[in-house]
Structure 1
Amino acid sequence: MAVSVSTVRESQPARLVDAADAMRGKHSSLQAIVTGEREMLSFLQGHWSGDAATAALATGLRDTDRQERTAARLAHLESALRSGGLQMAALRDALLDLVATTERFGFAVADDGTVTPEQWLIGDFLDSIARNLTAFLQKMLQLFTDLDENTAAAIDQAAGVDIPNPPVDIGGTQLHIPSPDTDPAQVQQWWDGLTQQQRDGLIAQHPPMLGNLNGIPADVRDQVNVAVLDDDLDRVESVVAAHGVSTDDVTADPARFGLSDGDVTRYQNARETQEGLIHQMTGENSLPGPGGDDRRYSDIGAAERADKNWRPTMLWSYDPQAFDGKGRAAVSIGNPDRSANTAVIVPGTSASVRDGWLSDGHNDAINLYNQSLQVDPDNPTAVISWMGYNTPESFTDPNIATTGLARTGGDALAWDVNSLAVTHDAGVPHHLTVAGHSYGSTTVADAFAHSGMQADNAVLLGSPGTDVAQSAADFGVDGDRVYIGDASTDPVGWLGQMGNALPGEINDTLGSMAGPSAGLGADPAFEDFGATRFRAEVPGADMIDPGDHSYYYTPGSESLRSMAEIVTGNGDRLGELGLLAPPRTEMSLATPGQVDLPFVGEVPLPQVQIETPVILDPEWNRPAE
C-alpha cells in the first residue's frame, strides 16, 4: 500500500543525507587508522623476524583486512543513505509542490492522493482534470513508497544484512564462499587454494553467489551463472509441462502451482537475459534453425559456436531479483580475462534487465565489438554490457534530476571494473575502457571521481553532466584519456553546466525550474573541462533532435569509429584520422573600439565587453563525415 500525502509531508529525507555525511567522516577516520596500521606492519616486517614475529604479523594483517572490509561497508552505507536521501527529498518536494498547486486552483486533495473539484467548480472537464491529477499523484505516492523500500533494502545490504552465505558441502568438506564485499584479490587466493575437485564440485552445485563474486575467473562465473539461469527457467517450465498449462497461466497465478512471485520474477528476467545472450552471440533474438525458439543458450556447444562463427558470449554476472525485480546482469562478448582490450559499456535512463536492455535488439556491444575487430583484428576486444545498477525508470522519473542513483551505481561499477585486473591473465596486456551513455555517463564519471575506478580511458556519450567531477583531472587518469562524444543536435548533451552561462544562469533566474542545478554537473564537452572531444555528429541533422541522443553506436558513424580507436588503445590516432572535435566555448560580445566617421576618420570609443549566456558549439552544422 502506498504512503499518504501526510506521511510524505512529515518525512525528513534530508536527515538521511546528514547521516551519510556522518558516515563519510567515520569512513575517513577508519581509513586513516588502517593506513597507519599497514605502515606500522610494514615497518615491523622489515625490523622483526622469528616465529613470534610471523604470528604477530599474520594476526595484524587479519585485523587490518577486517577493518578494510568494515570501511568498505561504511562507504556503501554512505552511498545508500545519500542516494535514498537525495532521491526521496527531490520526490517529496515535487509531490508537495503539486499538491499545493492543485489546491491553489480550487481542487481538494485527500490524504490518499484523490483529487476532487471544490463545490463551486462544476463541469465534466474539471472532473476529467481531477481524475488525471489523482492518477498522477497516486503514482507519485507509490513511487515514494517504492523508493523508501528500495532505500531500506540498500541500507540493509550495505550493512551486511540479508546476504545469505551458507557453507557448501563438497566431498564431505564444508566450504565457505567469501562474502560479496571481500577484496577480489583475497577471493582469487581462496579460489586458487581449492583443489580441482573442490572447484569442480562448486561449479556443479553452482551456488548463485559464486557467479557474481569478483575475483572468480570469468569462465567459471559464466558456467555458474548460466546454470543458475537454467534453474530459473526450469522452475516454471517444469510446472508448465507437468500441468499441461501455458506459461502465462503459471506466471499469472504462481501460488496455484506452488510457486512464488519471486520465482516468476526470476523466470521472466532469466528469459530476458537468455535472449540477450543469444542476440549478442548471433544477432538474432532466438537461435536460428529448426527448434530455435525451444533451444536454450546452454544447449549451444563450443563446436557449434565455432562452426557458425558466432560471437563468443559469456554471462559475467546475473542476479534476476536485484533492484526490486529490475534485475542485474552483465553479458560479455569475449573473455575479459584473456583479451588485450576490454570495453565496459554502461546504459542510462530506463535501461534494465526486466525492461529488455539486453534483449530488445540493442546492438551497442555488437557494433563496438565488430568495429574494434576491424581496427585490431589480431586482438579482439572484449565488450561487456554492464546492466549492474538501478537506473531512473524513465525521463519523467524524478530520479533523473538527481545524482543519487549515479553515485550508488558508480560504487558498484568501480567495484566490478577494478576486479577485472585481478583475474586478468598476467601474460596478456590489459587495456581497459569504460563508456557511459546519457545518465550512464554520469555514473561512469562518479565511478572514476567518487569511487576510485581504475581504467585507461573514460568515454562519456551524450552526457547530462559529470556530478562530482569538475574537470577531466578529477577522473584520476591522464586528462587526454577522458573522451567525450556529444552530437551538437543531442539535447541531453546541452544540459550540463558550461562556464558561467547556460543552463545554470537561466535556471537560477527562473527559480531553479530544472531542480537545484540544471543538468547533473559540468558539461564535459565544454572547453574548461579539459577532456578530448571526438566527432559524433549525425549525418543530415540540422536542428536539436531527441533521436540523435541514441545515435552514438550506429555503424558507420563518426562516434563508433572514434570509440573503436579508443578501446583498442589507438586514441592518439584520432587527430591524424580527422576524428577530433573542438570543445564548446562561451561567447562574449564587445562594443567596437573605434568608429570611422565621414570627414573625421577613426574615432576611438570606450570598449565595453559584455558576457552573454551564449555557448558556441563549433560542431553545429558541420557536415558529418
Structure 2
Amino acid sequence: MGITYGALRDADFGPLAAVGEQWRAQAGRMEERESELDDLRRRQIGESQWTGTVAEEVRSRVKLIGDDTVERAGECRRIAAAIEDAVAVFNDRQEELLELLASVPEGLSVDADGVATGKAADVAAFEQRMEAILDAVAEADETLHAAVAAIAGTTDAGERSELAAGVALADDFQDMLDRDASPAEVNAWWDGLSPFEQQGLLEARPELLAQVDGIPSGIRDDANRTLLEGEINRRENEIEAVEDRLAADPGNEDLQKRLADLQGTQERLTGLQSRIEEPYRIGAGGPALDHYLLGYSSAEDGRAIVAIGNPDEADNVSVLVPGTGADLGNVGGSVDRAGLMAADAYWADPDAKTASVLWLGYDAPDEVVPHAMDKRYAEDAAKDLSSFAAGMRAVDEDGSSHVTMTGHSYGSTTVGIAARDAGLDVDDMVFVGSPGVGVDSAADLGIPPDRVWATRNEEDIIGWAREDTIGTVLGGGGGGLLGGPVGGLIGGAVGYFTSDHDDLIHGTDPVSDAFGGRTFRSDATRDADGIEELWKDNVENHSSYWDGDNGHPRNAARDNMAYIVTGQTSGVR
C-alpha cells in the first residue's frame, strides 16, 4: 500500500476491524448451517427414518453440502484472522508513531508530511524509527492482501505465479528441515519469501509449517488451526462410519472400543479448538489477548503448545512447562495457568506487552510412580524445548524480548535437563514445586545463577521427593503399620527426617542454599481438617501456586513470578 506518515498518523482502523468481525460472524453462521444439515442427515432423514437407494443418495448429497459449508466457514475464519492480525499491527505501529511524535527531542520539528528538521543526529534517529514503522505497516498490508487474495481467489496472473512458486518451495523447505536447520536459519529463509510465496506454501502445505520453530507465530497458528479443523472433520467421518457398522453389528466389541477411542480423541480435539477460539480477556480494564496454536498432536496422550498473546511482538515472553499428568485431555487447566501468568504480568507492568506460552510439547509422565521418577521423559524433551526457546528468539521482531522459562513439578526437571543437555536461550528460569532439575548447582544451567529462581511452599508434598521417602510412603515403612493415608504420611515423615534434605530424586533441591540460585516466597493456600486430611493437604498444595481466582487465597508466588517475567526482580520477595 505504501502508506505515508500522514495516512498512518490519522488513520482510523475501526472500520477494517469491523470487516474482520463480519467475516468471523459469517463463519459462525455457516457453521450453524452445517450443524443443521448434519442434524437433518443423521436424525431427520437418517437410516432409521428413511432407507433405500434414493435415501442414500440424498444423505450423500446433504453431506457434500455440509462439508463444503465447513470449508467455506474455514475460509471466512482465515480471512477474519488475516484482517485481525493486520489491524493489530496497524494499531500498534500507529501507537508507536504517536509515541515517537510525543517524545521528539527539543529543537526537532516534524511537519505535516513527516519531514524532520533539527540537529543532524536527531533527524537521523527520527527518520530511522519512522522508516521502521512504515516498513512494518507496509509488510503487514502486503501480507493481508496476499492472504485474502489467495483465499478468496482474487489474485492476478503475477500473484498466482508467486503462489505457485510458494507451493513449489515445499521440497526445498523439507530438505532444510531434514538438515536440522536452526530456527534462525528457518526464519531467515521464510523472511526471504514474498507474501504470496509464503501464502502459497501455507495454503498448500500447512503441515510443513505448523510446528517448525523459527516460523512466525501467526503463520504457525494459521497452519495448526487448519490442521486441527481438518482432523476434527476426518474423525467425525470415522465416527459416523463406525456408528453405521455398529448399527448393523451392535455386539461387536472391537467396534465398540474403536468408537470409544475415536470419541475420546474427538472430545480432546474439540476441547482444544473451543479453548483457543475466543481471546483471553484480562479483566477490569485489561486487554484481550488472542490465542496462538503453535503446535498440537492427538497421538498417544496428546500435546499442545498454546500462546496467549503474540510472542513475536511481546516485550516479555513467559513459557510454562507443566509436569506429571499433563496431556491433551486436561490441557485447559494448564492454559488457564498460562493465562493467569499473562494477566499477572500485565498488572505488574501494564505498559509492556507480555505473551504467555503453555509448552506441552513433550510426553509428560502419566503417574508420579514410577513414571515421574524416570528422567527419560525430560531427556527426550530436551532437544525440542531447546529448539522452541531458540525459535522464540528467531521470531522476536525487535530482538529485545525478555524470556522466562518456568517449570512446575516434573516440568521443572524438563526445563533443567533441557538447559543441561541442549541449552536454553532464556533470560530467567523459574522452578516451582520441583523434584530436582537434573543438576546439582544453578551454575550448571547455562545462565547466571542469580537468574535462576525456585520456590516451594511449606506443605508441598514434592519436598518428600526422595527415593527413600517415596519408597517409605508407598510401602508404608515404619508408619505403614497404621495403614492408609495416615500410615503413608507417617512413613513419609520418617523418610523425610532421616534423608538428606538437599538431595531430591532429580538432583539438589533448587530451593536449598547448596543449589546456589535465588528463591522466592509461595504460600500453602489449601488447608484441610483432621489428620486423615493431611495427606490430601500436602498433595493439594503441590498445585496451589496459581491460587487466587478459584476460591482459595491468592498465592504470593503469582506476584513474584510476575515480577520475574516482567524483569522487575527488585519486587520479588
Whole-Å Cα distance in 1 between the matches of residues 384 and 363 of structure 2? 10
Which residue does the alignment assign to 2:340? 367
Contact kept in structure 1, 2:460 and 2:524, CA below 8 Å: no
Contact kept in structure 2, 1:537 and 1:558, CA below 8 Å: yes
1:199 aligns with 2:198: yes
Which residue does the alignment assign to 1:534? 520
Whole-Å Cα distance in 2 between the matches of residues 318 and 540 of structure 1? 33
After TM superposition, give the deviation of residue 378 of structure 1 in Å.
1.4
Letter in 1 for 2:311: P
Question: 1:143-162 to 2 correspondence within 5 Å?
Answer: none
Contact kept in structure 2, 1:347 and 1:438, CA below 8 Å: yes
Letter in 2 for 1:222: D
SS of the aligned residue for 1:474 comes to helix
1:569 aligns with 2:567: yes
Which residue does the alignment assign to 2:189? 190
Which residue does the alignment assign to 1:73? none
Q: 1:272 to 1:513 in 2, by over 3 A?
A: farther
1:173 aligns with 2:168: yes
Whole-Å Cα distance in 1 between the matches of residues 278 and 546 of structure 2? 16
Which residue does the alignment assign to 1:473? 443
Q: 1:255 to 1:189 in 2, by over 3 A?
A: farther
After TM superposition, give the deviation of residue 271 of structure 1 in Å.
1.9
1:332 aligns with 2:307: yes
Contact kept in structure 1, 2:327 and 2:364, CA below 8 Å: yes
Whole-Å Cα distance in 1 between the matches of residues 426 and 512 of structure 2? 23
SS of the aligned residue for 1:191 comes to helix
Whole-Å Cα distance in 1 between the matches of residues 527 and 167 of structure 2? 67
Which residue does the alignment assign to 2:291? 313
Which residue, out of 416, 437, 449, partners 2:408?
Answer: 437
Which residue does the alignment assign to 1:348? 323
Contact kept in structure 2, 1:461 and 1:486, CA below 8 Å: yes
Which residue does the alignment assign to 1:414? 386
Whole-Å Cα distance in 1 between the matches of residues 207 and 323 of structure 2? 26
Letter in 2 for 1:205: A
Q: 1:513 to 1:329 in 2, by over 3 A?
A: same
Q: Deviations over 1:468-490 (max 9, x none)?
A: x1111111212111111110110
Q: 1:430 to 1:379 in 2, by over 3 A?
A: same
Question: 1:65-464 to 2 correspondence within 5 Å?
Answer: 170=165, 173-176=168-171, 177=173, 178-179=176-177, 181-238=180-237, 267-278=266-277, 281=280, 310-321=288-299, 325-353=300-328, 355-356=329-330, 358-360=331-333, 363-396=336-369, 398-426=370-398, 429-464=400-435
Contact kept in structure 1, 2:324 and 2:368, CA below 8 Å: yes
Q: 1:558 to 1:248 in 2, by over 3 A?
A: farther
Whole-Å Cα distance in 2 between the matches of residues 399 and 256 of structure 1? 31
Whole-Å Cα distance in 2 between the matches of residues 458 and 249 of structure 1? 57
Whole-Å Cα distance in 2 between the matches of residues 539 and 260 of structure 1? 42
Q: 1:175 to 1:248 in 2, by over 3 A?
A: farther
Q: Deviations over 1:96-153 (max 9, x none)?
A: xxxxxxxxxxxxxxxxxxxxxxxxxxxxxxxxxxxxxxxxxxxxxxxxxxxxxxxxxx
Which residue does the alignment assign to 1:549? 542
Whole-Å Cα distance in 1 between the matches of residues 217 and 413 of structure 2? 27
SS of the aligned residue for 1:228 comes to helix
Deviates more, 1:340-349 or 1:235-244: 235-244
Whole-Å Cα distance in 1 between the matches of residues 378 and 212 of structure 2? 22
After TM superposition, give the deviation of residue 431 of structure 1 in Å.
0.1
Whole-Å Cα distance in 2 between the matches of residues 216 and 249 of structure 1? 48
Whole-Å Cα distance in 2 between the matches of residues 537 and 462 of structure 1? 11
SS of the aligned residue for 2:352 comes to coil
Letter in 1 for 2:192: G
After TM superposition, give the deviation of residue 247 of structure 1 in Å.
13
Which residue does the alignment assign to 2:113? none
SS of the aligned residue for 1:434 comes to strand
Whole-Å Cα distance in 1 between the matches of residues 334 and 424 of structure 2? 29
Q: Deviations over 1:482-511 (max 9, x none)?
A: 11111011010342699xxx99xx99x99x
Whole-Å Cα distance in 1 between the matches of residues 431 and 443 of structure 2? 15
After TM superposition, give the deviation of residue 212 of structure 1 in Å.
0.5
Q: 1:249 to 1:203 in 2, by over 3 A?
A: farther
Contact kept in structure 1, 2:441 and 2:515, CA below 8 Å: yes
Which residue does the alignment assign to 1:79? none
Whole-Å Cα distance in 2 between the matches of residues 255 and 197 of structure 1? 48
After TM superposition, give the deviation of residue 360 of structure 1 in Å.
4.8
Q: 1:496 to 1:411 in 2, by over 3 A?
A: farther
After TM superposition, give the deviation of residue 559 of structure 1 in Å.
0.3
Unaligned runs of 5+ in 2: 1-162, 474-490, 529-533, 549-553
After TM superposition, give the deviation of residue 192 of structure 1 in Å.
2.0
Q: 1:282 to 1:361 in 2, by over 3 A?
A: farther
Whole-Å Cα distance in 2 between the matches of residues 376 and 314 of structure 1? 22
Contact kept in structure 2, 1:254 and 1:260, CA below 8 Å: no
Contact kept in structure 2, 1:465 and 1:497, CA below 8 Å: no
Whole-Å Cα distance in 1 between the matches of residues 327 and 248 of structure 2? 25
Contact kept in structure 2, 1:534 and 1:562, CA below 8 Å: yes
Which residue does the alignment assign to 1:45? none
Q: 1:171 to 1:189 in 2, by over 3 A?
A: closer
Q: Deviations over 1:192-233 (max 9, x none)?
A: 222322211122224313111111111111111111111011
Q: 1:409 to 1:243 in 2, by over 3 A?
A: closer
Whole-Å Cα distance in 1 between the matches of residues 247 and 433 of structure 2? 39
Whole-Å Cα distance in 2 between the matches of residues 401 and 331 of structure 1? 27
Letter in 2 for 1:270: L
Which residue does the alignment assign to 2:477? none
Q: 1:336 to 1:255 in 2, by over 3 A?
A: farther
Contact kept in structure 2, 1:275 and 1:359, CA below 8 Å: no
Identity percentage of aligned residues: 28
CA RMSD of aligned residues (A): 4.2
Letter in 1 for 2:340: N
TM-score by length of 1: 0.52
Whole-Å Cα distance in 1 between the matches of residues 248 and 421 of structure 2? 47
1:523 aligns with 2:509: yes
Q: Deviations over 1:216-254 (max 9, x none)?
A: 11111111111111101111335668999799999x999
